[in-house]
Structure formats: C-alpha cells, structure tokens
Amino acid sequence: MIDFPSSDISRHGLARIGSQPIALAAAAFVILVLGAGSLIIWRSYTGAASPEPERVVVTRQLQARTAAASEQLVEKTKGLEATQQESIDQLQVVQDQLQTVRRLLAAQQTETKRLSDQVGSLTGAIDGLRQSFATAQTSDVSDAPSVRKTSRAKRSAMSHRKRAKSRS
C-alpha cells in the first residue's frame, strides 16, 4: 500500500470521501433512482412506449417484405426457366430444319453433278455426231458435183423435151 503524507490527503479531499463510504453509496443510489425515474417520466410523456414492440413490428414487416420479394424472385425465376426452355425447343427445331436443308442441298448437289456429267457426255456424243456428219458431208460434196452435173444435165434435157413437145 502507498502511504501518503497526511497533508496531501487533506488537500485533495480523499480522506474525507474515504471516511464516509455509506454517504457516497447513498448519493450514487439517489442519482440512479432519479435518472431512472426521469427516463420513465420522459417516455410516458412523449408517448413512446417500450421500443421492443416497435422493433418486433418493424422486424415482422421486414420479414414480410423479404418473403414477398423472395416469392417474386421465385416467380421470375420460374418464368425465366420457362422462357429458356422455349428458346431451347425453338433452337432444336431450327437445328433440325437446318440439318434437313443440308441433306437436301447435298442431294441436290449430287443430282446436279450427275446431270452435269450426263450433259457433258451428251455434248461429247453430239460433237462426235457433228464430226461424223461433217465427214459425211465432205464425202457427199466430193461425190455431189458429178451427181449435180448429171442431175442438171437431166433437168436441162427434160426441159428441152418439154419445150419440144409443147411446140409441136
């Protein structure tokens, strides 16, 4: 323990307070009772009841709002799921149609190639016929002048005969 000289204690008044602990406790008790009484009077005067019921009401309102918001989120989520499923179904239909179009296009390209090959072979056959016809014409042309000469000669002879008959 620390010993203080008696002159220091009297100066600070600690000796007086320490010698009367019951009076100090009684004064503190009176201050607490007055503070609590004034608080009760103030609350009753302002009409503010105990804040606990108000907190409970506010908490319940917040819980109700939270529940409503949760329900709205659930409904919106279900709507989004339905929309997403519809989109998936539509996409599958479009993919099926695309595959069908691809198959048809491949079949059409195959048919076009087959027809192109046939046209090429027909063109080759026509060219062969033209060449054989041209060869036949050139051989006919070399034979034709003698035929033509004879046929012209025959024609002129026949025309002379007709004139002769008509004169007589």
pLDDT tens digit sequence for 80-121: 999 999 999 999 999 999 999 999 999 999 999 999 999 999
pLDDT tens digit sequence for 33-47: 999 999 888 877 776
> In whole numbers, what is the pLDDT of the chain averaged over residues?
82
Q: How many residues are recorded in the chain?
A: 168
pTM: 0.39
Please tell me the predicted confidence (pLDDT) of residue 13.
Answer: 56
Residues 8 and 2: beta-carbon distance below 8 Å: no
Provide the token pair at 84.
């997403």
Measure the CA–CA gap between 168 and 156, rounded to whole angstroms: 19
pLDDT tens digit sequence for 132-144: 988 888 877 666 5
Measure the CA–CA gap between 33 and 36, rounded to whole angstroms: 5
Nearest in space to 28 (alpha carbons), one of 13, 17, 15, 12? 17
What are the helix and strand counts (H, E) for the chain? 4, 0
In this structure, is the dihedral angle defined by the CA atoms of residues 80, 81, 86 and 89, taken in order, positive or negative?
positive
Please tell me the predicted confidence (pLDDT) of residue 118.
Answer: 96
Please tell me the predicted confidence (pLDDT) of residue 46.
Answer: 76
